[in-house]
């Protein structure tokens, strides 16, 4: 975005009149993105008496004014276009006596640059007192000062988020300070922690950055549940301890997600649609936690074999505690727990002898949630490289999972989402009364329809008559 484009954006908000009577600056991520050649998502501005200035702008433009805090104790005012809620500007109070003091209180040098706004134009040169432009050129995340992380410990995670989203590295002194101050993250709210983690998980190489967090002893502060996973030896299906296996599963999920068409053919785009909107980030979190129940479920049999009976249920309980601590939205929490609880099902189904009816019922219960579970389970098998998990075994199980997802989108999903071929009124017309018996008939019809055994209204009515008459066909399929 060039200077004239900034001017046009400002005029869109402020019209031809003066914005405010005092110095106004573009700052933070807005300036960083401009220098990187990216289009900023919003405009970050600072000035004196920001609350009054924001109220005046909102009044003149008939915009909504939303007081908020991007950082505890530092109010910010979001001015939102009523006709387009995705269009907004953020106006914050300038910290310190002038823009220089404001910049010295920011987090990282790449976010500590400013452009002065006069009228509707950028005035003068880039204000860069800390070498932020050079760090952008060198692709480095560097803290502004040794107080930067102490003043807001969430910046420990934000450094990783910037590195992950921009594909930068973190400067060594900053990394060392992140390690020293990691314990301060205990005092940061779960919502703020999850906001940063969600951004990191949304990148293509999030496993690499989670390993950085782990090596710097930061991840164990956020997730003490992983501590028992480290050094927890597994059985002959695995070649690493529980924790290293979990990281490898996360890494393999990223490989799968990066080439869905290569792994699943024509249905790759359908899978991408289901995993959009942040769902892929939840899959990666579930990878980290899918075996969190193993340490408590671990048993050594008299013959020396190691088992983990019930670790899927125990892991779901651990995942629920983690998600609640992070104050994740209920749907996100439920999906992570569901993935952990169900991650063994595809492996069990892939073994010979599993009835098709059991698989159909599972898909009917899971619906689209079956897709992330299958993706996780597939990565789980890819990461199980012990002596009992040979290449032929892994390939057979993976092929079953790939075929199951293809069948789900090809034939099963349309049936699962189709309305029942007949209604309760039809059952009443056939002499049934509302109640438990009718519910059982509807359940059996639903299963028969999902299985493809009933494909028309006439077949459904015939099946009901058979059930009512108590003929052999009444037996459950």
Whole-number average pLDDT of the chain = 92
For residues 13-36, give the mean pLDDT: 79
pLDDT value at residue 18: 57
Same domain, 130 and 154: no
Last residue within a domain, chosen from 416, 432, 466: 416
For residue 418 the two structure tokens come to 């189709």
Same domain? For 308 and 361 the reply is yes
pLDDT class for 474, splitting at 50, 70, 90? Answer: very low
| pLDDT band at residue 236 under the 50/70/90 scheme | very high
Distance CA 217, CA 183 (A): 9
Pairwise CA distance, residues 209 & 275, whole Å: 21
C-alpha to C-alpha distance for 70 and 85, rounded to whole angstroms = 18
Most confidently modeled range among 115-124, 320-329, 379-388, 432-441? 320-329
Tell me what the mean pLDDT of segment 6-19 comes to: 65
Measured between alpha carbons, how far is 332 from 323 in angstroms, rounded to an integer?
A: 8
Same domain, 76 and 188: no
Going by pLDDT thresholds of 50, 70 and 90, the confidence category of residue 22 is confident
Residues 186, 103 within the same domain: no
Of the candidate ranges 36-40, 220-224, 280-284, 406-410, the one whose mean pLDDT is the lowest: 36-40
Give domain status of residue 434, yes or no: yes
Asked if residue 410 and residue 277 are part of one domain, the reply reads: yes
Residue 476: pLDDT over 50: no
pLDDT band for 2, please (50, 70, 90 cuts).
low
42 belongs to a structural domain = yes
Number of domains in the chain: 4
d(CA 378, CA 436): 39
Give domain status of residue 376, yes or no.
yes
Q: Both 277 and 402 in a single domain? A: yes
Q: Do residues 288 and 294 make contact, with C-beta atoms less than 8 angstroms apart? A: no
pLDDT band at 471; cut points 50, 70, 90: very low
Same domain, 284 and 189: no
The CATH number given to whatever domain includes residue 182 is: 1.10.110.30
The per-residue pLDDT for range 150-199, each reduced to its tens digit, is 999 999 999 999 999 999 999 999 999 999 999 999 999 999 999 999 99
Confidence of residue 475 (pLDDT cuts 50, 70, 90): very low
Which region among 67-76, 86-95, 344-353, 451-460 has the lowest average model confidence (pLDDT)? 67-76
Which pLDDT belongs to residue 118? 79
Same domain, 131 and 265: no
33 touches 52 (CB < 8 A): no
Instruction: Report how far residue 96's alpha carbon sits from residue 162's, in angstroms, rounded to the nearest whole number.
Output: 25
Q: What percent of the chain has pLDDT over 70?
A: 94
Residue 35, both tokens: 């220098």
CB-neighbour burial class of residue 432 (10 A; exposed 0-12, middle 13-18, buried 19+): middle
What integer is the mean pLDDT of 397-408?
A: 96
Q: Is 228 within a domain?
A: no
Q: What is the CATH number of the domain that holds 380?
A: 1.10.3210
Residue 13: band (very low, low, confident or very high) from pLDDT cuts 50, 70, 90: low
- Report whether pLDDT(77) > 70: yes
d(CA 444, CA 426): 15
Q: How confident is the model at residue 122 (pLDDT cuts 50, 70, 90)?
A: confident
Q: Which of 190, 222, 254 is the last residue of a domain?
A: 222
The confidence band for 365, taking pLDDT boundaries of 50, 70 and 90, is very high
Whether 300 maps to a domain, the answer reads yes
Structure tokens belonging to residue 430: 């056939």
Q: Cβ(61)–Cβ(79) under 8 Å?
A: yes
User: Can you tell me the distance from the alpha carbon of 462 to that of 432, in angstroms, rounded to the nearest whole number?
Assistant: 14
In a domain, 227, yes or no: no
Half-sphere CA count of 316, side-chain side, radius 13 A: 13
Tell me, yes or no, whether 186 and 50 share the same domain: no
Higher pLDDT, 218 or 13: 218
- Regarding whether 167 and 89 lie in a shared domain, the answer is no
Q: With bands split at pLDDT 50, 70 and 90, how would you rate the model's confidence at 473?
A: very low
Q: 37 and 82: one domain? A: yes
Assigned token pair, 2: 């060039």
In this structure, of 82-86, 237-241, 242-246, 348-352, the range with the lowest mean pLDDT score is 82-86
What's the first-to-final CA gap in the chain, in angstroms? 64
With 60 as the cut, is the pLDDT of residue 23 above it? yes
**Three state DSSP letters for the chain:** CCHHHHHHHHHHHHCCCCCCCCCEEEEHHHHHHHHHCCCCCCEEEEECCHHHHHHHHHHHHCCEEEEEEEECCEEEEEEECCCCCCCEEEEEECCCCCHHHHHHCCCEHHHCCEEEEECCEEEEEEECCCCHHHHHHHCEECECCCCHHHHCCCHHHHHHHHHHHHCCEECHHHHHHHHHCHHHHHHCCHHHHHHHHHHHHCCCCHHHHHHHHHHCCCHHHHCHHHHHHCCCCCCCCCCCCHHHHHHHHHHHHHHHHHCHHHHHHHHHHHHHHHCCCCHHHHHHHHHHHCCCCHHHHCEECCCCCEECCCHHHHHHHHHHHHHHHCCCCHHHHHHHHHHHHHCCHHHHHCCCCCCHHHHHHHHHHHHHHHHHHHHHHHHHHHCCCCCCCCHHHHHHHHHHHHHHHHHHHHHHHHHHHCCCCCCHHHHHHCCCCCCHHHHHHHHHHHHHHHCCCCCCHHHHHHHHHHHHHCCHHHCCC
On whether residue 181 sits in a domain, the answer given is yes
Does residue 17 carry a pLDDT above 60?
no
Residues in CB range of 437: below 8 A, 6 or more apart: none
**Do 270 and 354 belong to one domain?**
yes
Q: What is the pLDDT of residues 25-75, one digit of tens each?
A: 999 998 999 899 887 777 899 999 899 988 988 888 888 999 987 777 778
Q: What is the pLDDT of residue 5?
A: 67
Between 18 and 33, name the one with better pLDDT: 33
CATH classification at residue 60:
3.30.460.10
Between 81 and 180, whose confidence is greater?
A: 180
pLDDT of residue 19 exceeding 70, the answer is no
The answer on pLDDT for 92 being more than 60 is yes
In which domain, by residue range, is 354 found?
A: 234-416
Report the distance separating Cα 6 and Cα 121, nearest Å.
7
Query: Of 193, 222, 251, which residue is a domain's last?
Result: 222
Residue 16 is predicted with a pLDDT of: 57
Does 80 reside within a domain? yes
Instruction: Flag the least confident range among 6-20, 168-182, 249-263, 431-445.
Output: 6-20
């Amino acid at each position: 975005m060039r200077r004239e484009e900034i001017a046009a954006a400002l005029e869109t908000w402020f019209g031809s009149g003066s914005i405010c009577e005092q110095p106004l600056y573009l700052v933070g991520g807005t300036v960083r993105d401009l220098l990187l050649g990216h289009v900023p998502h919003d405009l970050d501005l600072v000035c004196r008496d920001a609350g009054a200035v924001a109220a005046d702008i909102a009044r003149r433009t008939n915009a909504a004014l939303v007081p908020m805090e991007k950082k505890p104790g530092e109010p910010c005012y979001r001015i939102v276009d009523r006709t387009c809620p995705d269009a907004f500007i953020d106006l914050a109070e300038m910290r310190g006596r002038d823009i220089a003091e404001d910049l010295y209180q920011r987090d990282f040098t790449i976010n500590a640059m400013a452009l002065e706004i006069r009228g509707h134009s950028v005035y003068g040169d880039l204000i860069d007192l800390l070498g932020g432009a050079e760090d952008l050129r060198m692709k480095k995340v560097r803290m502004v000062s040794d107080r930067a992380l102490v003043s807001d410990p969430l910046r420990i995670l934000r450094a990783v988020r910037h590195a992950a989203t921009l594909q930068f590295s973190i400067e060594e002194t900053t990394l060392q300070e992140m390690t020293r101050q990691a314990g301060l993250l205990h005092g940061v709210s779960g919502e703020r922690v999850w906001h940063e983690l969600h951004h990191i998980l949304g990148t293509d190489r999030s496993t690499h950055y989670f390993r950085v967090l782990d090596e710097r002893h930061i991840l164990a502060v956020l997730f003490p549940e992983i501590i028992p996973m480290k050094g927890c030896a597994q059985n002959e299906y695995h070649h690493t301890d529980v924790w290293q296996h979990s990281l490898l599963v996360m890494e393999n999920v990223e490989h799968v997600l990066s080439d869905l068409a290569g792994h699943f053919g024509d249905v790759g785009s359908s899978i991408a649609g289901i995993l959009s909107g942040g769902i892929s980030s939840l899959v990666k979190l579930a990878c980290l936690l899918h075996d969190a129940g193993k340490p408590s479920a671990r048993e050594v049999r008299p013959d020396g074999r190691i088992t983990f009976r019930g670790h899927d249920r125990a892991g779901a309980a651990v995942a629920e505690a983690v998600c609640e601590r992070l104050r994740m939205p209920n749907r996100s929490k439920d999906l992570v727990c569901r993935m952990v609880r169900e991650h063994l099902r595809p492996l069990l189904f892939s073994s010979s002898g599993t009835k098709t009816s059991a698989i159909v019922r599972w898909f009917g219960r899971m619906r689209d949630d079956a897709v992330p579970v299958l993706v996780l389970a597939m990565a789980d098998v890819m990461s199980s490289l012990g002596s009992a998990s040979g290449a032929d075994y892994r390939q057979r199980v993976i092929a079953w999972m790939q075929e199951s997802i293809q069948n789900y989108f090809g034939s099963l999903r349309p049936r699962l989402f189709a309305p029942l071929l007949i209604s309760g009124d039809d059952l009443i017309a056939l002499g049934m009364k509302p109640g438990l018996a009718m519910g059982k008939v509807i359940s059996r019809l639903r299963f028969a329809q999902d299985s493809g055994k009933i494909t028309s209204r006439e077949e459904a009515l015939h099946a009901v008559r058979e059930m009512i008459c108590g003929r052999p066909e009444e037996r459950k399929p």
